[in-house]
C-alpha cells in the first residue's frame, strides 16, 4: 500500500503538486487491490516554491510540522512524505505517532517532539523499515527521502521480505500480521460502504 502511494507521489511531485492531506481516509484500495490516493481538496501547486499562506490545513494526526508552524503555504513534497510516514507508522503499529485527544496539542507534538520508533511498538520489526519510517517522520524536511528515493527503498524492502520468506520459510512477527489485517478490514469496510452508496 505504501509503495503504491509513493509511486503516485512521484508523479504528483514531478508535476509540481503537493497533496497536503495524506492520511488513511484518503487512501482507497479497489477490488483489484489497486491503491488510489483521493481528496485533492487542499492540494497545491508547489512548482513556484513556498508561498506565504499562513492558514493551517491538514489532519492533526498526520500533519507535517512545517505546516503547523508556518501554514499550508510552507507545504512541500517533503510534507507529503511526512504525512505518509505517519500513515505508515499507523499501519504498521496500530498507533498514531502522537496521540492526544486535543487536536491542537497533537499538532504541537509534531513540532516539538521526536517521533517514536515504530520498533518500540512492534517487536521484531525489520530495522530497515523502522529506520525508513523514522526518516520520513523527521522534523527536518531535508532529512526526509524524496518520493523517488522512497519508492526505491520500499521496493527493496518488498524484495527482501519476499526473498526472506521464500528462501527460509520464515514469517514476519504475528503482531505485524494482526495489525495489517485489522487495518485492511477497516479500510475494506469503509470502501464497501462507499461502493454501496452508489
Q: Is 99 exposed, middle or buried (0-12, 13-18, 19+ CB in 10 A)?
A: exposed
Q: How far apart are CA 98 and CA 64, in angstroms?
A: 12
Q: Is 39 exposed, middle or buried (0-12, 13-18, 19+ CB in 10 A)?
A: middle
Question: Annotated catalytic residue: which of 21, 80, 102, 192?
Answer: 21
Own/partner pairs, 28-35, CB within 8 angstroms, 24+ separation: 28/187, 28/191, 28/194, 29/1, 29/187, 29/188, 29/191, 30/191, 34/4, 35/1, 35/4, 35/5, 35/8
Q: How far apart are CA 18 and CA 137, in angstroms?
A: 17
30 is annotated as an active-site residue: no
Q: How far apart are CA 20 and CA 106, in angstroms?
A: 17
Residues carrying an active site annotation = 21
Amino acid at each position: 500500500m505504501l509503495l503504491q502511494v509513493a509511486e503516485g507521489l512521484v508523479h504528483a511531485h514531478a508535476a509540481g503538486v503537493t497533496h497536503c492531506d495524506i492520511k488513511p481516509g484518503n487512501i482507497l484500495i479497489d477490488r483489484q487491490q489497486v491503491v488510489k490516493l483521493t481528496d485533492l481538496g487542499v492540494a497545491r501547486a508547489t512548482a513556484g516554491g513556498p508561498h506565504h499562506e499562513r492558514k493551517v490545513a491538514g489532519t492533526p494526526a498526520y500533519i507535517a510540522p512545517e505546516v503547523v508552524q508556518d501554514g499550508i503555504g510552507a507545504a512541500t513534497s517533503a510534507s507529503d512524505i511526512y504525512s505518509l510516514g505517519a500513515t505508515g507508522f499507523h499501519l504498521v503499529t496500530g498507533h498514531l505517532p502522537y496521540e492526544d485527544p486535543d487536536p491542537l496539542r497533537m499538532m504541537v507534538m509534531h513540532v516539538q517532539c521526536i517521533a517514536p520508533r515504530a520498533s518500540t511498538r512492534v517487536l521484531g520489526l525489520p530495522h530497515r523499515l523502522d529506520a525508513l519510517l523514522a526518516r520520513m517522520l523527521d522534523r527536518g524536511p531535508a532529512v526526509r527521502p524524496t518520493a523517488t528515493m522512497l519508492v526505491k527503498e520500499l521496493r527493496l524492502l518488498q524484495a527482501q521480505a519476499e526473498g526472506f520468506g521464500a528462501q527460509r520459510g520464515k514469517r514476519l512477527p504475528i503482531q505485524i500480521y494482526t495489525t495489517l489485517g485489522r487495518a485492511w478490514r477497516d479500510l475494506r469496510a469503509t470502501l464497501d460502504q462507499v461502493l454501496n452508496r452508489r
